[in-house]
Amino acid sequence: MNGFFHVPAFFQPPEQEALLEIARTVCAAAPLRRPTLTNGTPLKLTLTNCGPWGWWADKDGYRYVERHPTSGKAWPGIPGALLRLADRALESCGLEVMRVDNCLINHYAEGESLGMHIDRTEQDKRAPIVSLSIGADAEFILQDPDGAKTSYIIRSGDLVVQSGRSRGWLHGIKRIMPTMPNICKDGGRINFTLRKVLAD
Ligand code: MD3
Ligand code: FE
């Protein structure tokens, strides 16, 4: 297998509400900001982070930083409930639990998207990535090295885990679909990715 797991309905509405509350709390301390490509083009999503390391992108490149780009404050800690969900997610896929030192929180408003890319900013490029989604449905595209694309509809409560070979594959969010009901009252989608950034 390629190490790609999509688990529909991995977590239920009460936990989805709990993740929404976590996103609100993190955003109050570390507001959502819009990154840019190195050429200055804004990305079609906003993001924030919790944990010792936070992903950020601007004219200086794609990297993990210890401080919020505009407030200059350290990122808030990763809530225990989120770390426990990551453990549960890895166990459910038969993977070893890992030390998580970043949670990237992506917010997609209606009409936003994420172009095809490979996640290679992490020092440890083999550690799995655990992804939890709430809010609107999204079309996710995964492309294998032969160029073959597979499309997945990712819904509120779904888990995606990237490990093994597919960890290094191109992927993106093609579109956010109008979704009712949607616990994100603005009609958007929030994706949490839990990562091990630093190698041991
Ligand atoms: C497949 N986010 O933040 S998460 C990202 O739903 C990102 O917001 C998407 O891609 C989102 O970088 C997808 C699931 C995911 C994460 C990493 C991957 C899928 C992946 C790395 C390689 C292949
Ligand atoms: Fe990615």
32-41: pLDDT as tens digits: 999 999 999 9
| pLDDT (mean) for 89-117 | 97
Mutate to test the pocket of ligand 1, among 193, 196, 197 (most ligand atoms within 8 A of CB): 193
User: Could you tell me if 108 and 45 are in contact, meaning their C-beta atoms sit under 8 angstroms apart?
Assistant: yes
Ligand 1 neighbour 119 (Cβ under 6 A): yes
pLDDT above 90: residue 25: yes
Ligand 1 neighbour 193 (Cβ under 6 A): yes
Ligand 1 neighbour 169 (Cβ under 6 A): yes
Mutate to test the pocket of ligand 1, among 160, 166, 196 (most ligand atoms within 8 A of CB): 160
pLDDT above 90: residue 115: yes
pLDDT at 200: 87
Using the mean position of ligand 2's atoms as its centre, give its distance from the Cα of residue 172 in Å. Answer: 7
Question: Residue 73: pLDDT band by 50, 70, 90 thresholds?
Answer: very high
